[in-house]
A and B are shown apart, each in its own frame.
Chain A
């Protein structure tokens, strides 16, 4: 067997599905709370006790429909949601027993729908209105699904070859196999939504064209690539973008270039963890996450931290890269400087302060940047939208931007928070924006 094929095993989904009996037992353990806190903890407000009850009664079609009704990317969310921070964290059984495995039950029901090719929804009666959605990720798909059900003619403009956004390209396969995301895309397409892939707004289609030809436009473009570190040697071969690294493992034959190599990841968010575990699974001998603060301040989820440690990823706190060292045009090493924590910043996190004269060099073959994501500034500005550092400003509740016809949802309006931007939040934004668009366009129909 060739090496890449060997590596492919490392990218198979790591969390096993519930076995049928396991699912029934777990579903029956659910208390079916009244006014359940898990529903309130879900950004898309899935009626969790209801879908679990339906699993218990063998009504898997109804269960999947309950999930997908509230969350058009509910199959992906079953796998990628930080459930311990959301529904499972809110489960009342935390204080009496163990919380219900809500994520895995959600996966059980949505897997059933996928495997049985269930048609869950149908499009609404055409109302003659058209909506353009820029970006076919969770927010865009979610909005498209809702609008199609309401009778709108929806066109999604997607820059990449396939829709699904982060779920298709940005989440490691061993957490979320691509086919799950693509099934969700198919569900939306089946409602008559046109998805124009390989189409960039501002390049292939002018923003003005959308504004002229559609009744409303929803901007759901997410975020871009990882920003520059702004240190010498950054352009060298072997310096990688974490998001591109993950995308390559989902779209190309797995590379054996990292076999036996030393890899460092700069940053300690969930993308950094993905890049680290990907590197390990691509055969890297040693993978270190370098972070300028400490374990307390890093933004990745606790379960992702545990997962990385189990994968053999090492963590090095209180260091910042200052220079990439080269040999023959390639990365050879990395110069770091030690930090210490100083005063708290405006978010309450202690600010890292450089310790003078503490520079040192480590030998590395790859440097993977995972220090956040760039914003699609020029696109935002091409629509003339008000924004704050690339974060599009929207009206609370309606997701309407400063342009009366343009709405925005998903990561494009994510302004930072306790955690990374979540898929489930994007799905919720898209759904709510769709209903706001519907409200607005319906109101217009009323005679004044």
Chain B
């Protein structure tokens, strides 16, 4: 059994699986059920001035007959008075002292407001704070949430205010609704944040009702943009985590969030620099019990590789993530189609023919009279499209063609040319 416990900027947790601040962490009842199910931690639904919610709050994106590839919501922060939340948090922490309880906070842009709420929540013994600079809907219109997260100066300022009084580690939750998240991550770091978490949800309109011509969801005939999350956002989140992880100017631990649905997603985020993950949509889709396979799968993955602690994989793939200008222009892969498992759906042919480089031919075999798919390797650019559309895993393999030439990146090439040298591709 591998050691699954983590240490995120001084915050200890029995495992890397936390529930993100969201509807699943709205009450003591829910968070305690989650801890019973095995979740290592929970970030409580954002505390602040209680709000009024609308009804009709969520929508799902279905794809290919599957439900909830994506998900969005227009629910705001907690609608309960702070005292009620604190009482339930206190009760939860007493029942589950070893589990990680984080308070998510969002107040107006005032030093006293931040000081006051930090002191109140730390008094009941939370393990850390998460500043919600990410919520893109509703609260942002009132100058909070992502309205803060889109301005490095505001982030830096508010983190500083929090750090003036905070006794526990401070995590800053960032919005992805921004051109380059590294700038806001750096601002958090400069303000003294102990960690960052990302991503919060993405501005989104889930759909339009084809019969009523109304936004989905709508509230009495009107809709507003919501926060988008779920499996579909994972690649966006993973990129942002990796970009921050490899940026020396950020330099603080990351809690990964965004479409994480199982242990495989978790391993990817950890390898790309996250120390632990936060989950919401998958739990909302299937319930808290999904954490069982997350724990089991992660443990088996580590055991099978002889890795003693989950912390040993954190960031291990970060150095492989780079800029385009550093990629080797002399590296070449081509598609190889394995006849023995090919089912002749010919999707590779038409994908290549119509939308890529026209190098997969349907050739009638003179001996058998049957058709074969043949890659003209000299014309193959190694784009991977055929292997992506092939329905039978492993049937189209991208094979490396060894190059006689030394590795050469675009940056190296340009540098060599600038220095007056020649450059062979």
Residue of A nearest to B392 (CB): A96
Residue of B nearest to A35 (CB): B346
> How would residues 57 to 94 of chain A score, 1 for a CB under 8 Å from any chain B CB and 0 otherwise?
00000000000000000000000000000000000110
User: A24-B65, A56-B64 are known contacts. Are A34 and B391 too (CB-CB below 8 A)?
Assistant: no
Contacts of B341 in A (CB 8 A): 96
Does A386 sit within 8 A of B, measured CB to CB?
no
User: A27-B65, A56-B64, A56-B65 are known contacts. Are A32 and B344 too (CB-CB below 8 A)?
Assistant: no
Does A25 sit within 8 A of B, measured CB to CB?
yes
With an 8 Å Cβ cutoff, the count of chain B residues facing the other chain is 14
The answer on a CB contact under 8 Å between B65 and A34 is no
Does A124 sit within 8 A of B, measured CB to CB?
no
Q: Nearest Cβ distance between residue A88 and chain B, in whole angstroms?
A: 14
User: A34-B350, A35-B362 are known contacts. Are A95 and B64 too (CB-CB below 8 A)?
Assistant: no
The answer on a CB contact under 8 Å between B65 and A93 is no
Q: Nearest Cβ distance between residue A25 and chain B, in whole angstroms?
A: 5
Provide the bound-state CA to CA distance between A96 and B345, in Å. Answer: 11
With an 8 Å Cβ cutoff, the count of chain A residues facing the other chain is 16
Does A312 sit within 8 A of B, measured CB to CB?
no
Does B347 sit within 8 A of A, measured CB to CB?
yes
Does A33 sit within 8 A of B, measured CB to CB?
yes
Contacts of B66 in A (CB 8 A): 28
User: A96-B391, A96-B392 are known contacts. Are A31 and B65 too (CB-CB below 8 A)?
Assistant: no
User: A92-B343, A96-B343, A96-B392 are known contacts. Are A34 and B349 too (CB-CB below 8 A)?
Assistant: yes
Provide the bound-state CA to CA distance between A36 and B391, in Å. Answer: 14
Provide the bound-state CA to CA distance between A33 and B343, in Å. Answer: 10
> How would residues 6 to 36 of chain A score, 1 for a CB under 8 Å from any chain B CB and 0 otherwise?
0000000000000000001101100111111
> How would residues 385 to 413 of chain B score, 1 for a CB under 8 Å from any chain A CB and 0 otherwise?
00000011000000000000000000000
Contacts of B65 in A (CB 8 A): 24-25, 27-28, 56
Provide the bound-state CA to CA distance between A370 and B95, in Å. Answer: 79
User: A31-B391, A34-B350, A35-B362 are known contacts. Are A92 and B64 too (CB-CB below 8 A)?
Assistant: no
Contacts of A32 in B (CB 8 A): 347
Does A37 sit within 8 A of B, measured CB to CB?
yes
Provide the bound-state CA to CA distance between A34 and B378, in Å. Answer: 24
Determine which of A24, A56, A92 lies in contact with B344 in the assembled complex, contact meaning CB atoms within 8 Å: A92
Determine which of A35, A56, A95 lies in contact with B343 in the assembled complex, contact meaning CB atoms within 8 Å: A95
Contacts of A37 in B (CB 8 A): 344
What's the A-B contact tally at a CB cutoff of 8 Å?
36
> How would residues 347 to 365 of chain B score, 1 for a CB under 8 Å from any chain A CB and 0 otherwise?
1011000000000001000
Residue of A nearest to B346 (CB): A34
The answer on a CB contact under 8 Å between A34 and B64 is no
Q: Nearest Cβ distance between residue B164 and chain A, in whole angstroms?
A: 55
Determine which of A28, A33, A36, A93 lies in contact with B64 in the assembled complex, contact meaning CB atoms within 8 Å: A28
The answer on a CB contact under 8 Å between A93 and B346 is no
User: A25-B65, A28-B65 are known contacts. Are A34 and B343 too (CB-CB below 8 A)?
Assistant: no
Provide the bound-state CA to CA distance between A264 and B341, in Å. Answer: 48
Provide the bound-state CA to CA distance between A92 and B391, in Å. Answer: 11
Q: Nearest Cβ distance between residue A43 and chain B, in whole angstroms?
A: 21
Residue of A nearest to B65 (CB): A28
Provide the bound-state CA to CA distance between A37 and B65, in Å. Answer: 24
Q: Nearest Cβ distance between residue B389 and chain A, in whole angstroms?
A: 9
User: For window 319-345 of chain B, which residues contact chain A by CB distance below 8 Å?
Assistant: 341, 343-345
The answer on a CB contact under 8 Å between A31 and B64 is no
Q: Nearest Cβ distance between residue A414 and chain B, in whole angstroms?
A: 27
The answer on a CB contact under 8 Å between A33 and B392 is no
Contacts of B347 in A (CB 8 A): 31-34
Provide the bound-state CA to CA distance between A78 and B140, in Å. Answer: 55
Provide the bound-state CA to CA distance between A406 and B218, in Å. Answer: 64
> How would residues 90 to 120 of chain A score, 1 for a CB under 8 Å from any chain B CB and 0 otherwise?
0011011000000000000000000000000
Provide the bound-state CA to CA distance between A16 and B11, in Å. Answer: 58
Q: Nearest Cβ distance between residue B66 and chain A, in whole angstroms?
A: 8
Residue of A nearest to B393 (CB): A96
User: For window 329-354 of chain A, which residues contact chain B by CB distance below 8 Å?
Assistant: none
Contacts of B350 in A (CB 8 A): 34-35
Residue of B nearest to A94 (CB): B343
Contacts of A36 in B (CB 8 A): 345
Provide the bound-state CA to CA distance between A32 and B345, in Å. Answer: 8
Most buried by B among A31, A32, A34, A37: A34
Q: Nearest Cβ distance between residue B234 and chain A, in whole angstroms?
A: 21
Q: Nearest Cβ distance between residue B343 and chain A, in whole angstroms?
A: 4
Provide the bound-state CA to CA distance between A32 and B350, in Å. Answer: 11
Q: Nearest Cβ distance between residue A409 and chain B, in whole angstroms?
A: 30
Contacts of A31 in B (CB 8 A): 345, 347, 391
User: For window 107-153 of chain A, which residues contact chain B by CB distance below 8 Å?
Assistant: none
Contacts of B64 in A (CB 8 A): 28, 56
Provide the bound-state CA to CA distance between A27 and B66, in Å. Answer: 12
Provide the bound-state CA to CA distance between A96 and B394, in Å. Answer: 12
Provide the bound-state CA to CA distance between A25 and B64, in Å. Answer: 8
Provide the bound-state CA to CA distance between A239 and B123, in Å. Answer: 97
Residue of A nearest to B348 (CB): A34
User: For window 46-69 of chain B, which residues contact chain A by CB distance below 8 Å?
Assistant: 64-66
Residue of A nearest to B64 (CB): A28
Provide the bound-state CA to CA distance between A37 and B362, in Å. Answer: 14
Contacts of B345 in A (CB 8 A): 31, 33-34, 36, 92
Residue of A nearest to B350 (CB): A34
Provide the bound-state CA to CA distance between A95 and B343, in Å. Answer: 6
Contacts of A24 in B (CB 8 A): 65
Provide the bound-state CA to CA distance between A33 and B391, in Å. Answer: 10
Q: Nearest Cβ distance between residue B366 and chain A, in whole angstroms?
A: 19
Contacts of A35 in B (CB 8 A): 346, 349-350, 362
Contacts of A34 in B (CB 8 A): 345-347, 349-350
Q: Nearest Cβ distance between residue B337 and chain A, in whole angstroms?
A: 14
Provide the bound-state CA to CA distance between A24 and B64, in Å. Answer: 8
Provide the bound-state CA to CA distance between A56 and B347, in Å. Answer: 18
Q: Nearest Cβ distance between residue B110 and chain A, in whole angstroms?
A: 51
Contacts of A25 in B (CB 8 A): 65
Provide the bound-state CA to CA distance between A56 and B346, in Å. Answer: 21
Provide the bound-state CA to CA distance between A35 and B341, in Å. Answer: 19
Residue of B nearest to A33 (CB): B345
Q: Nearest Cβ distance between residue A225 and chain B, in whole angstroms?
A: 42
Contacts of B392 in A (CB 8 A): 96
Provide the bound-state CA to CA distance between A25 and B67, in Å. Answer: 11
Provide the bound-state CA to CA distance between A35 and B362, in Å. Answer: 11
Most buried by A among B64, B345, B391, B392: B345
Q: Nearest Cβ distance between residue A430 and chain B, in whole angstroms?
A: 31
Most buried by B among A27, A32, A35: A35
Provide the bound-state CA to CA distance between A68 and B392, in Å. Answer: 32
Provide the bound-state CA to CA distance between A37 and B392, in Å. Answer: 17
Given contact pairs A28-B65, A31-B347, A32-B347, a sample of 12 additional A-B residue pairs in the complex whose CB atoms are under 8 Å apart: A33-B344, A33-B345, A34-B345, A35-B346, A35-B349, A35-B362, A56-B65, A92-B344, A92-B345, A93-B343, A95-B343, A96-B343
- A to B CB contacts below 8 Å, 23 in the list: A27-B65, A28-B65, A28-B66, A31-B345, A31-B347, A32-B347, A33-B344, A33-B345, A33-B346, A34-B346, A34-B347, A34-B350, A35-B346, A35-B349, A35-B350, A35-B362, A36-B345, A92-B343, A95-B343, A96-B341, A96-B343, A96-B391, A96-B392
Which 8 A/B pairs are nearest by Cβ-Cβ distance? Answer: A28-B65, A34-B350, A33-B345, A34-B346, A92-B343, A92-B345, A28-B64, A31-B345
